[in-house]
Structure 1
């Protein structure tokens, strides 16, 4: 097999090409959003919202309405419940997040197990990028475009909110409103990534690209370029690995992202562990 055949063979099939485009949309959207989540310190919140949308997605399927509607409702519900548990009981935020998102995630699993369906709803949990239908692709592309448009339009406000919420409030911005918009975008992005990696691994797409870019550069403008580039590279690597190794595409993509983060952790120009050891010596 020549190099050209090796590179082109996986995408000679329509389902692989549709899966590739779907993965690239999810990779870019999640990577751009991840830059702000990493700066704000919302890794756990991203995990909570991405898992908590599961019952909303299942209920939306039962009701025959768009998945995004159920995801947003349960994403915001999770945030409200976390705030209520934290403020009403004295329990710390990390414990409140763990309690709420595991409970809602378990509710989603129960709903999947008792919902009669002609399709396998387990793909919501584990992803099924190679089975993306045209209607699903249109929904993913539409939601992805909306999320990117909002992130680009509000990028300055989000950046100021991430670095200095007090200053953002002082100049007339509403930090609570910006936080609510970001949480809504997390819920929408979770729907985009569901088909690729499933609910279980959505948090990897939402956090790892931004964390990797943060190790490589200290400038936020460069993070917004590096994070999508890392995510796109991991998408191609994961899909090639899944095709030739007959492995799960979603898991392969997340593993590729993990390898990219490990390389950045070891060899990043300034923050890399190996670089720091060499400088000390």
Structure 2
């Protein structure tokens, strides 16, 4: 019985899937806390879609796909912030125009070239096909993002709540702002091979949103988000093996279920308090 339950852990492709998500989950979860508090959920969606033309152009010129994805994502994030600050159009509108335009450009470029890179793997990931290079890339980016966030979380938190007050307090607001954008682009690149562009947004929103419903203390929010992300990723991959489904969508479904449970639990606390 125990040997059968441990069967998914005996296959190398499953071991790589578990490993890459254990590397990605903590950093993505911590970053999601700041994105949720700052109201940047749509920014994560925009950047995740906008990296597609960068991936295609990198393939055309023979450059690493992750480099093209990072540069395209960073360009989208920076241009969105610039347009929002220098025009009358609200940021959510700018993000909708920019990310849909870049995503459309990526699709057009992809259909115009002959490529052995399957579009489904770019959009939805190929978690069961990750190799050592993917593990090293995801691990390096995730560890760097996690270390930076842990070292600067108080400053980033101040910027997330009130950028004007943070500027008055002498914090490097512009550095924090573009640093967050760079980390957001980096994490999407780290997740490119595993969960893909479309599902990356779930990893960058759900853990923080669930943790936000579980506690009012930010330090606990960080801890809860990491635990939720690890639990969802490990259980999602494990469950996908037995029900013969794709791991990434299964993980997102578990995130959705936990969010609903957290929402119900929080609503119950509110009723009892009243």
Q: TM-score, normalised by structure 2?
A: 0.93
Residue equivalent to 1:200: 198
Q: Distance in 2 between matches of 1:165 and 1:30?
A: 22
Structure 1 SS opposite 2:118:
coil
Q: Distance in 2 between matches of 1:74 and 1:125?
A: 15
Where do 1:47-66 residues align within 5 Å?
Answer: 47-66=45-64
| Structure 2 residue 267 is matched with structure 1 residue 273 | yes
Residue equivalent to 1:177: 175
Q: Distance in 1 between matches of 2:242 and 2:57?
A: 36
Residue equivalent to 1:143: 141
Q: How far off is 1:139 after superposition?
A: 1.3
C-alpha deviations, 1:57-86, integer Å up to 9, x for none?
A: 222233333334223322232134324544
Of residues 71, 74, 85, the one that matches 1:73 is 71
Identify if the C-alpha distance between structure 1 residues 66 and 154 changes in structure 2 by more than 3 Å, giving closer, same or farther: farther
C-alpha deviations, 1:151-199, integer Å up to 9, x for none?
A: 2222222122112322321232121221100001000000111222211
Of residues 238, 241, 255, the one that matches 1:240 is 238
| Structure 2 residue 18 is matched with structure 1 residue 9 | no
Does structure 1 conserve the Cα–Cα contact (< 8 Å) formed by 2:70 and 2:189? no
Residue equivalent to 1:224: 222
Q: How far off is 1:35 after superposition?
A: 0.8
* Matched length: 274
Does structure 1 conserve the Cα–Cα contact (< 8 Å) formed by 2:206 and 2:255? yes
Q: How far off is 1:108 after superposition?
A: 1.7
Does structure 1 conserve the Cα–Cα contact (< 8 Å) formed by 2:145 and 2:183? yes
Does structure 1 conserve the Cα–Cα contact (< 8 Å) formed by 2:121 and 2:196? yes
Structure 1 SS opposite 2:51:
helix
Residue equivalent to 1:133: 131
Q: Distance in 2 between matches of 1:172 and 1:74?
A: 31
| Structure 2 residue 256 is matched with structure 1 residue 262 | no
Q: Unaligned stretches of 5+ in structure 2?
A: none
RMSD of aligned residue pairs (Cα, Å): 1.8
Q: Distance in 2 between matches of 1:169 and 1:49?
A: 26
Q: Distance in 1 between matches of 2:150 and 2:20?
A: 20
Q: Distance in 1 between matches of 2:38 and 2:68?
A: 26
Residue equivalent to 1:186: 184
Q: Distance in 2 between matches of 1:57 and 1:146?
A: 22
Q: How far off is 1:213 after superposition?
A: 0.3
Of residues 143, 164, 167, the one that matches 2:165 is 167
Structure 1 runs of 4+ with >3 Å offset: 83-89, 277-280
